[in-house]
Chains A and B, each alone.
Chain A
Amino acid sequence: MATDYVIAKQVRKHFGHQQVLNQIDLTLPAGMIYGLIGPSGAGKTTLIKSILGMEAVDSGTVKVMDTVMPNRAVMAQVGYMAQSDALYETLTARENLTLFGQLMSVPKIKLAQMIDYAAGLVDLTSQLDKRVSGYSGGMKRRLSLAIALIQDPQLLILDEPTVGIDPELRQQIWTELNKLKDTGKSMLVTTHVMDEAERCDYLMLIRHGIALAEGTPAALKQQYAVDTIEQVFLKAGRMQDANDGNR
Chain B
Amino acid sequence: MRTMAIVRRVFKQMLRDKRTLALMFLAPLLIMTLMYFLFQNNTTQVASLGVHHVDQSVVNVIDTKNVTIHHYDSSQARKMIKQHDLDGYLTQKNGQLTITYSNSNPTNTFLIKASLQSGLVKLKMKTLVTVTKKQRAALESQQAALKKLTAAQTQATVTKLKTAIAQAQARGDQATAEKLQKQLKQATATTSSSTQSAKATSYTTKSHYIYGSSDSTFFENFLPAFLGFFVFFFVFLISGVSLLNERTTGTLSRLLATPIRRSEIIMGYLIGYGGFAIIQTVLTVVFTITVFKIHLVGSIWLVFLTNLLLALVALTLGIFISTFANSEFQMIQFIPLIVVPQIFFAGLVPVDGMASWLQAIAHIMPLYYGANALTAVVTKGAGLGDIGVNLLILVGFMVVLTMLNIVGMKRYRKV
Report yes or no: B413 in contact with A54, Cβ–Cβ below 8 A. yes
Stretch from B147-155, B192-200, B252-260, B297-305 contacting the other chain: B252-260
CB-defined contacts of B415 to chain A, threshold 8 Å: 53, 70-72
User: Which of B4, B17, B257, B261 is close to A90, meaning CB atoms less than 8 Å apart?
Assistant: B17
**Number of residues from B at the complex interface, CB < 8 A:** 26
CB-defined contacts of A86 to chain B, threshold 8 Å: 249-251, 253-254
Report yes or no: B13 in contact with A54, Cβ–Cβ below 8 A. no
Q: Smallest Cβ distance from A62 to chain B, in angstroms?
A: 11
In the bound complex, how far is the Cα of B261 from the Cα of A95, in angstroms? 21
Name which residue of chain B comes closest to A71, CB basis. B415
Q: Smallest Cβ distance from A138 to chain B, in angstroms?
A: 18
Report yes or no: B412 in contact with A54, Cβ–Cβ below 8 A. yes
B414 at the interface (CB under 8 A from A): yes
Q: How many A-B residue pairs have CB under 8 A?
A: 77
The contact size tier of chain A is 20 to 34
CB-defined contacts of B13 to chain A, threshold 8 Å: 88, 90-91
CB-defined contacts of A105 to chain B, threshold 8 Å: 1-2, 259
User: Which of A55, A75, A84, A102 is close to B5, meaning CB atoms less than 8 Å apart?
Assistant: A102
User: Which of A70, A84, A99 is close to B413, meaning CB atoms less than 8 Å apart?
Assistant: A70
Q: Smallest Cβ distance from B383 to chain A, in angstroms?
A: 42
Report yes or no: A73 in contact with B259, Cβ–Cβ below 8 A. yes
CB-defined contacts of B413 to chain A, threshold 8 Å: 53-54, 70, 72
Name which residue of chain B comes closest to A151, CB basis. B258
A80 at the interface (CB under 8 A from B): yes
Q: A75-B258, A102-B5 are in contact. Are A88 and B17 (CB under 8 A)?
A: no
Report yes or no: A99 in contact with B9, Cβ–Cβ below 8 A. yes
Report yes or no: B5 in contact with A99, Cβ–Cβ below 8 A. yes
Report yes or no: B259 in contact with A102, Cβ–Cβ below 8 A. no
A100 at the interface (CB under 8 A from B): yes
In the bound complex, how far is the Cα of B412 from the Cα of A56, in angstroms? 10
Q: A90-B13, A90-B16, A95-B12 are in contact. Are A54 and B261 (CB under 8 A)?
A: no
| 3 tightest Cβ-Cβ pairs between the two chains A and B | A86-B250, A86-B254, A102-B5
Q: Given A52-B257, A85-B250, A103-B255, output 18 extra A-B contacts at Cβ < 8 Å.
A: A53-B413, A54-B253, A54-B257, A54-B414, A70-B414, A71-B415, A80-B254, A82-B254, A86-B251, A90-B12, A90-B16, A90-B17, A100-B258, A102-B4, A102-B5, A103-B2, A103-B258, A104-B258
